[in-house]
Structure 1
Amino acid sequence: MRKLKYFKTSLTLCAAVCISVILFAFNAGRPGTPVRFKKPTAIKQPKSAAIKKPEDNRFVKTVLSNDLNEPMQLAIAPDMRVFFIERAGNFYVYNPADNKTTLIYKFPVKAVEKILQGMLGMTIDPDFRTNNYIYFYYSTQVGDAYKNRLSRFVISKNSVLDLQSEKVLLDVPLDAEVSAHSGGSLAWDKYKNLYLSTGDNTVPFESEGYAPIDMRPGRTTFDAERSAGNTNDLRGKILRIHPEANGTYTIPDGNLFKKRTLNTLPEIYVMGCRNPYRISVDPETSILYWGEVGPDAGTDGKQGPRGYDEINQAKKAGNFGWPFFVGDNKPYTKYDFKTQIVGDLFDVNAPENLSPNNTGLKILPPAQKAMVWFPYDVSPEFPVLGKGGRCIIGGPVYHYNPALKSNTKFPEYYDKVLFVGDYMRNWIFGVRMDENQNYTGLDQLMETNGDFRRPIDIKFGPEGSFYILEYGSAYGLDNPDARLVRVDYNAGNRAPVAKIATRDTIGLKPYKVVLNQKSFDYDADDKLSYKWLLNDKTVISTAENPVYTFLKNGVYKITLKVTDAGGKSSTDTKVIKVGNTPPQVAISTSANSSFFFPGEQTFDYKVAIKDREDKTIDPKRVKIGINYIARVENNQNLTGHQEIAPTYNYGKALMAKSDCKACHQIYTRVLGPPFIEVAKRYAGNKKAVDMLAVKIIKGGGGVWGEHAMSAHPQLSKDDASEIVKYILTLNEAKSTASLPRQGNITLKDHVANNNEGRYILTASYTDKGGAITPLTTTESIVLRPAKVQAESADIFDNIDKREKAVYATDNKAYFGLKNVDLKNIVQLTYSYLSKNLNGTIEVHIDSPDGQVISTLNFTAAADQKQFTRQSTPVTDPQGKHDLYFVFTKNKRSTRGEISVDWVSFDKF
């Protein structure tokens, strides 16, 4: 896979998508003349129109083995044992008979300290039921040389590995100083030919994300022409051999080069691969598929096209272009790394390898384009794949067998679908093809409830269930969420979903609680039964919504078990605390409590605290503070009772949605430096934010190690800057001083920020515990700009939200703001443009049909480019309410649209 890149000269951030991780390092550049691709715009359905896509809730995900350490590849035996390996050499078996995972053997693999070496691949023989052969691909040392070795062993039916049975089939040369691109995947075709993927074993970091074709003396390991582009080298290939019973192999007919062809190797089936990390072979057609982890460049450049990951298909042997082409045969230039002169584009019909490091043919077979290709940003051809980091994982083709007696097999909808995953984007897609195995569309698996934790290998078992090895959160760490998972399809009765809905969770004895529940069953006709348990032992009721009285102080666990008529069940739990009540915290002000206003910089406040159990309020337990947030995500609703409000940080929120932590942690080194080290290095550097934001977007080398960080062109400069700002705050001392319970605050931070941002005034009190445990209540006031940009509203319905305005064409469309105080507000001013439309904007409270407190009548503009400013009175309904701005068209207005830029809340 692609070796993760750190920062070099500036920083190793890995911002909103922290680069394609795990065994890779890549490079790409400016496009030549791309091959035109006729894009199918819709997913073609299975041959029978009656076959509908199954509901996500029919898929059941079960964790078979947890807390793995860098899992790599798996294989499922006919008896349902699941074998899998970890990179450090551990070989395990999961036995469904007792649901236990057992370590079979720890291989003493060599070069484990090199990030991409170790235990790389495994598979079982097609005749495993009778011969018990199992194959491993692993790093070893022979004399002074490192090699990646393919060997066969015998394993018993009770999972004992016979170490004396090893038969070495094949050694692949390895430049061990290159910690990049090992490949290592194994697969079989229906003729019992074995396929092995090998990476190009080339340093990609100094090619700036483009083609590593550096032919300067002493730079051999920087030249993929010596490996992937070399017909006389096993690296950067997918090999095809036929293992024999005696531990040797023969060469099948139909490989890329005929046997005994000068300067070629007969084992090569596919050449021109960068890092074909996971491969599969369709068991019916013997067509080869793989995920090709591509290079890093975020934009097209003088050396060639940007980086693309690829989903590839080989119906026959061929050359797939690397390092001369990428994606749909986008050509690189013949770039001279010494003179930095850009030469001609490589010829797709007859690529020429003139490298002095090439020991094979000089004129190569024509390049074959990818079936699917996608960059960091949204792909014009395949937009459904989204944007972000890239690390494609090839997977199997599923064949639905109606005769297979299995209650968990995948449905006919997925017949003949190729499944692929992405380690960085955490998705699994099905690639749909026609009867000739030509691409027709992409279809995401378990879009709403996949919860994949970085898929690293995917297979179907003999019963038709789907098995996934998940690598876990961060590359190179022993992740607690690394696991072996099985996904079953449930075509019949589904288990109900237990859900406790009671809000009565804290009180004083005797505490009478209504145990409400909102359980449901996806199978609408199922009759449900209920069982309420206290502390997992005592059944206290079998009613749907019982009432129970707690007579003693304590902390209790209530469990609800819901069972359907078919005997399937699920549980939910809730903790009830008896012996204390939460404090009461209230913030009041004579000012408006929703907005700050241009020109006003003083805000008065008063905090009132009461507690039923504490006779006196302990000042040391009171915390009051104010925080200014320069930017907030659109639709991020910060209200007074949310815990997110006091601690919200825009850069932190962006990072949380990204894959940054795949290669960075705050305090622990992963592939890149800990964020705290970055913060310390650039402390006090006034140019750091701009410099590092550019580095995140463009990528490049740095001083944090040998590796560079990949580009993130999908990030805006503003968002990259906010991520940097958050990282730099990690080195700042946190103030713990509390404001007084009453006073005036100077609001000035928004002045330098174009009157944008949010102020969050937070007050909290932790009581003394009563008879059980301390409880904390937190209250906040969030002040937003009085001039509200319409596109930053909290609620939208039938609204087209664009970069700088919202647009409405439908009657009763609306946008809304949550939790708004209109104290001291006398009018609303709109900036709007109405095109061929007359009507009103009505402001309703609490719902789109609620009380109307303001009405704006608008008319079609004479100048169709000039926004109009218009004011209208508003009535204060007292207190805080959600506001709904509802568009109503006049009956005679049928076509046109109105766009609103902003709404200003104006004081006296």
Structure 2
Amino acid sequence: MRKQILLSGLITAALFFNASAQQKPDDNRFTKVVLAQRIEEPMQFQILKDGKVLYAERKGKLKLYDPVTQKISVIHEFAVSTKYVSQTGEVSEAEDGLQGVVLDPDFYKNHLIYIYYAPAGNESVNRLERYTWDGKGPLNVASKKKVLDVVVQRFECCHVGGGMVFDKDKNLYLSTGDNTFSRASDGFSPLDERPGMFTQDSQKGSSNTNDLRGKILRIHPEANGTYTIPKGNLFKPGTPLTRPEIYTMGNRNPWRLTIDSKTGWLYWGEVGPDGSQDDFEHRGPQSYDEFNQAKKAGNYGWPYFVGNSFPYHHYNFATKESGPLFDPEHPVNTSPNNTGLKDLPPTIPAFIWYSKQQSTKFPLLESGGNSAVGGPIFHASDFNNAPRLFPSYYEGKWFITDWVRGWINVVTIDDNGNYVNMERFLPGQKLRGPIDMKFGPNGDLYVLEYGNGYFKDNPEAELIRIEYNGGNRKPQVQATANKIAGAVPLTVNLSSAGTKDDDEGDKLTYSWKITKNGAPFKTIAQANPSLAFTTPGVYKALLTVTDTKGASNSKAVEIKAGNEPPLVTINVIKGNSTYFVRGQSITYNVNVVDKEDGSLANKRISPARVAVSANYLSEGYNMTAIASKQGSVDAGTQYAGAMALIAKSDCKSCHSITEKVLGPAFTQVGIKYKGDPGAPDRLAKKIISGGQGVWGDAQMPAHPTLADADAKAIVKYILSLAYPHVAKSLPVAGTYTTSVPQGENTDGSFILRAAYTDRGNKNIGSQTGEQVLVLRAPVLPVSTAVETHDIAFNRDSTVAIVKAEGAWLKFNKVDLTGFIQMELIASAGRDNTTAKGNIEVYAGSLQGKPISAFSYYGGLKKNIKIGFANRGVSDLYFVFKGTPLSIREIKFSNSE
């Protein structure tokens, strides 16, 4: 028996060694297959054994993709809360909504699924519910069981969590966010203990042992819809001032949980704060996102620690005074918003951590904005006869991604759970907002892509799968159109450019299948056809490419014919159009031209219908909060259009906004149907066709000549009255002062945006045109130089190194309006104290006289300040003569 055990161990070790030593597979053996496109705000998905994919969309729809029909059906639409209403009554878009879905481990026996969402209504909770579902038809609504409520605040964003996964013991893990508005904390830790500022104090949740926010919960669902507490959670049931559901605490926004099927260890991505600079003296470390591992229950530190247990100061937001650093061995929660224990478990450091800058420890994580998203751990034994199993090279490795940076990295972990190394998976593959990722039963890697914008129906949002094929490979397909919307007649050039096949000698055939509003329209057997659309409709052009051996792959592009998108432009009349000059104003105007609606200039488009907003985005922050405010401004302008339609109609003869007349007040209607996902369509049809009986015997007359889009606009406005306020738009022409808000860092950008949503028509819905003008901080990084001579760069191109006399850097179209001084952040290395030479700045070309110059002798200070005459936009050349220098960036200012 002992010999058998020994032999078994040697075989296992040999297999592991062979897998680890195996050569990395050729990237060309992997093929991306697009399954579904233009999916709206997808959040989380599950794969059924027949290849169907069940996924949740944030605005409430639970959908099913069928690989046989290649169609998507709605399983159920939940009434969800997607708005925050601040304590002052301002309404903005929230991260909340339908967040997660997971199948029961015994789904094919009991047909149970679990949903996590923010239910519409006045109850501020995020809810875990259980339903039965047959795997193909509608959700069985009558089977609903409420499992668990997470009490939240709905005054300020952000951080919802929402990931779910089961372990081998059928315990359900649920991630929850800290439900804290941290943008007011300068990118550091939100510890605001002032009265009324609980929305900005994460200590109420993440570090509160008696609260379910900022946690990963672990429960054992029971057959009757209740749950029990598994052994091994952080606090034993009955422990005073604790919740027994807590498995990990000290989380900010944990994303996309996975369980290692071999070890049972839990892994996830953790989204960090937004600061990009350390302030160890007063506040603490800059932001770090994390990839985490839990071998057992524990405290992961937030909001007192981040990254490798880097501590924050106990900062007093009232006095602006810094207290001591928190102790990772003995963290203490003394916040007045804490309802749990004061003395907390010791902190567990992150498994992998990375900031906005490139990490020296984990360089493959790159630099820039970040948002860590966990992914699956690959084990071949998890799959039964999978046709396209990934190679054993990936055995036991963790696939991770980042929502902003769009890469997939593969992490090797040793038998003890220690980090070994990291490598890039498919370096040529750039994902667009990857938000969930897992292996399917066929062995393929599935990825759900949210797209690039926040709170939007992003056209690039897709469900894809990445297949491995050791034999004949499918073609890699690209499908584009030179125009995807316009008035009829509309001529569109379709293109297959970028399509390729990695198998030598394969001849490809191309077929475009065109459908109109879902019905067959035309088929074209060409690679790059031109097509004229003469009748309005929504067309889908599906390109299928087939190789010599019959392997095919497809991709589609959607074309809307019958409504020209609006053209929106922002013009800077006076001031700097590239950089902001602190405390100074720009004069601007907005132009809008729409082929069907008219223009601002001819007054057929009302200025009240144009959304104009300006927000300051601190360096390092993501766009979530700003996108939320922009959406509120958009809504306000669309309501203005609806109010104009109401004023021109007979509506006011029967209704007022706040008082009952013959019919109910519009506000009453808004409150009655608040959170009802089907109300907009029903009420719009009722306005057009007429009706009675809901509010009494009075009959509402029909309005058959009212366009469907106008009826829906009126309904949207009426439903908005359930909320107190929306953000107001800036005027379409005026001035805006670029004053950095108090407490914000000065390295960010002002985001000016103008948008107009047209009226659409009965064939094509409304379309939105927008332009965004970014006024950046007055800093010119050397990495943006378009041409150089005798200049070398460091590895990440953040430092320019002068190699010889007369070296120069060229920058295109630099706007110097409003500035009178340049400041070069420079160093001469070891020769810094004896450096001598001069720097000349030329505008337009290297000929003529320099616009400014600076000479230095007997030493070089870190910052070289060069004055110049105020001027406009031109190409700039910086010429270096003398001691070799290292230049990091050039700053502009309007003061000496």
Scaled to the shorter chain, the TM-score interval is 0.5 to 0.7
**1:728/1:680 CA distance change after superposition, 3 Å:** farther
Aligned partners of 1:121 and 1:78: how far apart in 2?
19
Aligned positions of 1:185-204 closer than 5 A: 185-204=163-182
Question: 2 CA distance for matches of 1:491 and 1:440?
Answer: 28
Is the Cα–Cα contact under 8 Å of residues 498 and 519 in structure 1 kept in the other structure?
yes
Instruction: State, as a whole percentage, how many aligned pairs show the same letter.
Output: 40
Q: From 384, 389, 399, give the equivalent of 2:379.
A: 399
Report the Cα distance in structure 1 between the residues aligned to 2:544 and 2:204, rounded to whole angstroms: 63
CA distance 1:801–1:259, shift in 2 (3 Å): closer
Is 1:95 matched up with 2:66? yes
**Which of 248, 260, 263 is the aligned partner of 1:270?**
248
Task: Quickly say closer, same or farther: Cα 1:217–1:806, change in 2 above 3 A.
Answer: closer
Q: Which secondary structure does the structure 2 equivalent of 1:57 belong to?
A: helix
2:468 pairs, out of 489, 504, 509, with: 489
Distance 1:471 1:46, change over 3 A: farther
Letter in 1 for 2:252: R
Is 2:24 the partner of 1:53?
yes
Alpha-carbon distance, 1:117 to partner: 1.4
1:118 aligns with one of 91, 94, 97? 97
Decide whether aligned partners of structure 1 residues 495 and 482 sit closer, same or farther in structure 2, where only a CA change above 3 A counts: closer
Task: State the match for 1:74 in structure 2.
Answer: 45
AA in 2 matched with 1:110: S
Instruction: Give the Cα separation in 2 of the matches to 1:130 and 1:480.
Output: 37
Matched, 1:109 2:88: no
Q: Which residue does the alignment assign to 1:440?
A: 420
Local SS of the residue matching 1:230: coil
2:239 maps to which of 261, 272, 278 = 261
SS at match of 2:118: strand
Deviations 1:386-407 (A, max 9, x none): 1111111112111124974333
Instruction: Please give the TM-score of this superposition, normalised by the length of structure 1.
Output: 0.57
> Who is 1:163 aligned against?
141
- Asked whether 1:790 is paired with 2:789, we answer yes
Mapped to 1, the partners of 2:626 and 2:129 lie a distance apart of 35
Structure 1 residues 48 and 804: CA distance shift in structure 2, 3 A: same
Quote the offset at 1:136 in angstroms: 0.2
Within 5 Å, give how 1:701-712 maps onto structure 2: none
Q: Secondary structure at the match of 1:398?
A: coil
Partner of 2:435: 456
Partner SS, residue 463 of structure 1: coil
Give how far 1:211 is off.
1.5
User: How many angstroms apart in 2 are the aligned matches of 1:572 and 1:474?
Assistant: 21
Kindly report the root-mean-square deviation, in angstroms, between the aligned alpha carbons of the 2 structures: 5.3
Residue 46 and residue 236 in structure 1: after superposition, are their counterparts in 2 closer, same or farther (change >3 A)?
Answer: farther
Q: 1:284 offset after TM fit, Å?
A: 2.5
Q: Corresponding residue for 1:566?
A: 549
Matched AA of 2:204: R
AA in 2 matched with 1:156:
D
How is 1:308-327 mapped onto 2 (pairs within 5 angstroms)?
A: 308-327=288-307
1:484, distance to aligned residue in structure 2 (A):
1.5
Q: Which residue in 2 is equivalent to 1:643? A: none
Partner of 1:208: 186
Paired residue type of 1:420? I
| Matched residue SS, 2:119 | strand
Q: Which of residues 423, 434, 447 in structure 1 aligns to 2:403?
A: 423
Letter in 2 for 1:266: P
* Distance in 2 of aligned mates of 1:519 and 1:175: 49
> Structure 1 residues 243, 804: closer, same or farther in 2, change over 3 A?
closer
Q: 1:411 to 1:659 in 2, by over 3 A?
A: farther
Give the paired residue count: 595
**Partners in 2 of 1:661 and 1:268 — Cα distance?**
31
Deviations 1:265-316, CA, capped at 9 Å, x for gaps: 1111001111113222222222111111111122112121111111111000
Aligned pair partner of 1:331 in 307, 311, 317: 311
Query: What is the CA deviation profile of residues 660-714 of structure 1, one whole-angstrom value per residue up to 9, with x for unaligned ones?
Result: 888879x97589999xx999899777x85x969997764599999xxxxxxxxxx
For residues 486 and 46 of structure 1, do their structure 2 counterparts lie closer, same or farther at Cα, with a shift above 3 Å needed?
A: farther
Assess if the C-alpha contact under 8 Å between 2:749 and 2:774 holds in 1: no
Classify 1:490/1:791 alpha carbon distance in 2 versus 1 (closer, same or farther; 3 Å): farther
Q: CA-to-partner distance for each residue in 1:97-128, whole Å, 9 max, x for gaps?
A: 22211111111123456512111111001111
Counterpart amino acid of 1:427?
W
Q: 1:249 is matched with which residue?
A: 227
Check whether the contact 1:185–1:277 (CA below 8 A) recurs between aligned residues.
Answer: yes
Distance change in 2, residues 1:529/1:388 (3 Å): closer
| C-alpha distance in structure 2 between counterparts of 1:663 and 1:338, whole Å | 24
Asked if the contact 2:383–2:441 (Cα under 8 Å) also holds between the matched residues in 1, the reply is no
The structural deviation recorded for 1:141 is: 5.6
Is residue 630–residue 757 contact of structure 1 (8 Å, CA) maintained in 2? Answer: no
CA deviation digits over 1:519-550, x for unaligned, max 9? 975334x46588999x9989999xxxxxxxxx
Distance 1:179 1:215 in 2: 17
Deviation at 1:797, TM superposition (A): 13
Question: Closer, same or farther in 2 for the Cα pair 1:349/1:630, shift >3 Å?
Answer: closer
Relative distance call for 1:280 and 1:112 in structure 2 (3 A) is: farther
Q: Select which of 104, 109, 113 maps to 1:134.
A: 113
Deviation at 1:418, TM superposition (A): 1.4
Residue aligning to 1:873: none
Paired letter, 2:246: I
- Structure with higher Rg: it is 1
What is the DSSP-based 3-state SS (H/G/I as helix, E as strand, rest coil) of the residue aligned with 1:453?
Answer: coil
**Residue 83 (structure 1) aligns with:** 54
Superposed CA deviations along residues 487-517 of structure 1, whole A, max 9, x for unmatched, are: 21122112467999xxxxxxxxxxxxxxxx9
Is 1:473 the equivalent of 2:452?
yes
Superposed displacement of residue 365, structure 1: 0.4
Shift of 1:159: 2.8
**Could you say what secondary structure the match of 1:74 adopts?**
strand
Shift of 1:458: 1.1
1:563–1:171 Cα change, 3 Å: closer
- CA shift at 1:264, angstroms? 1.0
- Once residues 538 and 206 of structure 1 are traced to their aligned partners in structure 2, the CA distance between those partners, rounded to angstroms, is 55
- Identify the structure with bigger relative contact order (alpha carbons < 8 Å, sequence gap 6+): 1
Matched residue SS, 2:252 = coil
CA contact (8 A) 2:33 2:553 kept: no
Contact 1:407 1:491 in 2 (8 A): no
- Residues 701 and 313 of structure 1, relative CA distance in 2, 3 Å threshold: farther
Contact 2:633-2:729 within 8 A present in 1 as well = no
Offset of 1:564 from its aligned partner? 5.4
- 1:492-571 residue pairs with structure 2 within 5 A? 492-495=471-474, 522-524=502-504, 526=505, 528=507, 566-568=549-551
* Change over 3 Å in CA distance of 1:799–1:407 after alignment to 2: same
Q: Which residue of 1 aligns with 2:672?
A: none
Any idea what SS the aligned residue of 1:221 has?
A: helix
Does the Cα contact within 8 Å between 2:34 and 2:463 map onto a contact in 1?
Answer: yes
- For 2:73, the aligned partner's letter is T
Partner Cα separation in structure 2 for residue 187 and residue 757 of structure 1: 43
- Corresponding letter in the other structure for 1:238: I
Contact 2:125 2:152 in 1 (8 A): yes
Q: Aligned partners of 1:487, 1:428: CA distance in 2, in Å?
A: 12
Letter of the structure 1 residue corresponding to residue 227 of structure 2: Y
Change (3 A) 1:159 1:431: farther
C-alpha contact (below 8 Å) 2:793/2:801 kept by paired residues: no
Which of 327, 346, 369 pairs up with 1:366?
346
Contact 1:663–1:671 (CA under 8 A) maintained in structure 2: no
| CA positional deviation for 1:184 | 1.0
| Contact 1:475 1:671 survives alignment (8 Å) | no
Letter of the aligned partner of 1:568 in structure 2?
A
Cα distance in 1 between the residues matched to 2:783 and 2:149: 60
Q: List runs of 5+ in structure 1 lacking aligned partners.
A: 1-44, 501-516, 542-558, 574-628, 632-654, 705-723, 730-752, 759-783, 809-814, 818-832, 834-864, 867-897, 902-908
Give SS of 1:197's match.
strand
After superposition, give the CA deviation of every residue in 1:15-39 in whole Å (9 maximum; x if it has no partner). Answer: xxxxxxxxxxxxxxxxxxxxxxxxx
Q: Is the 8 A contact 2:187 2:273 kept in 1?
A: yes
Q: Which amino acid aligns with 1:300?
A: D
